[in-house]
Amino acid sequence: MNLESLLLMRSEIGLIIIILLLIIFEIFSNKKQKAAIIPFALILLAINTIIGFFPLQTGEIFGGMFRTNTLLHFFKTTLSLGVLILLLQSADWLKEKVVAENKATEFIILILSSLLGANFMISSGDFLMFYIGLELTTLPVAALVAYEASKRKSAEGAVKYILSSALASGTALFGISLLYATTGTLYFDTMATVLTSSHLAILGFIFFFSGLAFKISLVPFHFWTADVYEGAPINVASYLSVISKGAAVVILMILLFTVFKPLMPAWTKVIYIVTIATMFTGNLFALRQQNMKRFLAYSSIAQAGFILLGLLSVDQLGTATVIYFVAIYIFSNLGAFGVVQAISSATNKENMDDYEGLYRTNPKLSLVMMLALFSLAGIPPLAGFFGKFFLYAAAASKGYWVMVFIAVVNATISLYYYLLVIRAMFLRKGENPIPYFKSGNYMRLGLLIAVIGILVIGLYSPIYEYIYSFSNVFFN
């Protein structure tokens, strides 16, 4: 192994350097300089993201524990961009509330560590690396959920999160050990060749899947989601629903399409049932939520159900569509969470009722929210429409017509609750609407990038074609 091959880990090494620099900064800065941490971190992460857009060759290091290819690299860069938007949206909150408590650096470092974990998880070439990545993704977030420690709900959410994710990790680990027992290997490539659909292997798969399903909050492993989102600071809820979920979905897809391909008859049934349950549960529970965080929590459960549609077609089309949809979902959800964050940090209001009459006082924020929600609902010409339509197409291409029909019914149900927010903001005048406020420049930039993503990713077809062009890496 020569040193050059370490470049395959470019984005991970970049993140590690950023984290180290931030720690050094934290140690050597005095109290007045603390606030400078925010632009410093943002610039570093932006540089790392931009570098990420340059192509990287395919390869593996550490004896196959770590691998990378165009698809993985593209997705890691997308996640990095998502975290950048997220940090932009959190910057004003950090500056006003957290820097004073001297905890801003920790917040950023924890988020970046979790992102690093997500990167390792996606790039893993065997189950050990995968597990380490998974834990590294999860543990910092547990600390982040409890970030507003003085709030009771925050602490409650953190306990729920740490307990359920510990259980989930344990379950996944148990599944991995069963798989190891049947195949005698932990490497993805080797396991794919020797795995047969024995009962033990299927049992192992089910345990493993359950563990991962916790992270994606698929039904019936979703119970923690709404409470944790409600307790956590909004940007952490946003991180959970966007970055951590997106990463988990993609690694699930990769494993299903490669390692578990011999078990396909078994896992398609599992996915089929879980998809239907997830879509209906997420949608029906979202109908009656008043708190915007809980609302977005259930909405994101339902969205995860839609993503699973793409997994049913085990081919290039399915891979491309899932990656494409997750990218769109990142931008749309960040748009929605960003607006909730902006309003919450200006007024401490998080209920749907409080949004009544918002358009008349804060038209721009309302428009961003409308675009984000319409994108989530799948209304053209916004990106979400293309993502959803292609997911239907991916499922239909393999003849899952009943599934497609159930999905479109669910899309209609979801439109109802997204319209409820639109109704509050646009249709109602409200007795005392939130007065006009100016959000900070970081927040504006964060929302602007999200809106550009929502508008461009769908209409500008080369993005989809680019994703499609490298989506065959797992089907040689």
Partner 1 sequence: MDILSLFVVVPVLTVLVLVFAKNLKQARVISLIGMTIQFAMSINLIFAYIKERTVNTDIMVFTKDALWFENFNIHYSIGVDAISVLMIALTSTVILAGIFISWKVDDLAKEFFVSLIILASGVFGFFISIDLFTLFVFYEIAVIPMYLLIGIWGSGPKENSAMKLTLMLMGASAVLSVGILGIYFNSNADGGALTFNILEIAKVHIPVAAQNLFFPFVFIGFAVIGALFPFHTWSPSGHASAPTAVSMLHAGVLMKLGGYGIFRIAMYLLPLGAINWTDFFLVLAGFGVIYGAFGAVMQKDLKYVNAYASVSHLSLVLFALLMLNKTAWTGAIIQSLSHGLLTALFFALIGMVYGRTHTREIEKLGGLMKILPFIGAIYVITGLAYLGLPGFSGFVAEMNIFVGAFQHPDMFHRIITIVVISSIVVTAVYILRMVGKIMMGPLSNTEYAKLPKATWYEKAGLILLMIPVIIIGVMPFGLSEMIKASIQPFLERLL
In order of 219, 226, 242, 299, the CA distances from 157 in angstroms are: 19, 9, 18, 19
Buried b (16+ CB within 10 A) or exposed e, 391-402: bbbbbbeeebee
Pick the binder of partner 1 from 152, 288, 364, 423 (CB under 8 A): 423
Dihedral of the CA atoms 236, 347, 372, 410 (nearest 10)?
80
Interface pick for partner 1 out of 75, 239, 390, 442 (rule CB under 8 A) = 390
Choose, by CB under 8 A, the member of 16, 379, 445, 448 that binds partner 1. 379
Q: Please, which residue, 63 or 399, has the CB nearer to partner 1?
A: 399
Residue 464 touches partner 1, criterion: CB under 8 A: yes
Show contacts with partner 1 in window 123-182 (CB under 8 A). none
223 sits near partner 1 (criterion: CB under 8 A): no
Among 23, 409, 452, 456, binds partner 1 (CB under 8 A): 409
Q: Which of 273, 427, 452, 456 binds partner 1 (CB under 8 A)?
A: 427
86 binding partner 1? (CB under 8 A): no
d(CA 254, CA 326): 14
Q: Which two tokens stand for residue 218?
A: 């698929």
CB of 339 vs partner 1, minimal distance in Å = 18
How many Å apart are CA 23 and CA 201, to the nearest integer? 44
Minimal distance, residue 89 CB to partner 1, in Å: 25
Number of alpha carbons in the 13 Å side-chain half-sphere of residue 136: 22
Nearer CB in complex with partner 1: 155/379: 379
Q: Which of 323, 336, 185 is nearest to 254 (CA)?
A: 323
Looking only at residues 336 through 375 of this chain, which bind partner 1 when binding is defined by CB under 8 A? 374
Q: Is 466 in the site for partner 1 (CB under 8 A)?
A: no
Among 120, 392, 470, 474, binds partner 1 (CB under 8 A): 392
**Rounded alpha-carbon distances, angstroms, from residue 81 to 78, 252, 327, 342:** 5, 21, 10, 19
Q: Which is nearer to partner 1, 208 or 392 (CB)?
A: 392
At its nearest, how many Å lie between partner 1 and the CB of residue 302? 14
User: For residues 421 and 411, what is the distance between their CA atoms, to the nearest angstrom?
Assistant: 16
404 counts as binding partner 1 under rule CB under 8 A: yes
Report if residue 397 touches partner 1, rule: CB under 8 A.
yes
Cβ of residue 411: shortest distance to partner 1, in angstroms? 5
What is the b/e burial string over 114-127, where b = at least 16 CB atoms within 10 angstroms of the residue's CB? bbbbbbbbbbbbbb
| Residue 223 or 416 with smaller CB distance to partner 1 | 416
- Applying CB under 8 A, among 8, 115, 304, 422 the residue interacting with partner 1 is 422
Instruction: Work out whether 436 is an interface residue with partner 1 (CB under 8 A).
Output: no
List CB contacts of 23: < 8 A, sequence separation 6 or more. 105, 109
Q: Are 108 and 87 in contact (CB under 8 A)?
A: yes
- Encoded one letter per residue, x for contact with partner 1 by CB under 8 A and - for no contact, window 285-324 reads --------------------------------x--x----
3-state secondary structure of 406: helix
**Residue 16 burial (C-beta neighbours within 10 Å; 0-12, 13-18, 19+):** middle
Q: Which is nearer to partner 1, 13 or 419 (CB)?
A: 419
CB of 234 to partner 1, least distance (A): 27
User: How big, in percent rounded to 5, are the helix, strand and coil portions of the chain?
Assistant: 80, 0, 20
Instruction: Select 152 or 364, whichever has its Cβ closest to partner 1.
Output: 364
> Which residue carries 């991970």 as its tokens?
12
Query: Nearer to partner 1 by C-beta: 409 or 456?
Result: 409
- State the residues that interact with partner 1 by CB under 8 A: 317, 320, 374, 379-381, 385, 389-390, 392-393, 396-397, 401, 404-405, 408-409, 411-412, 415-416, 419, 422-423, 426-428, 461, 464-465, 468
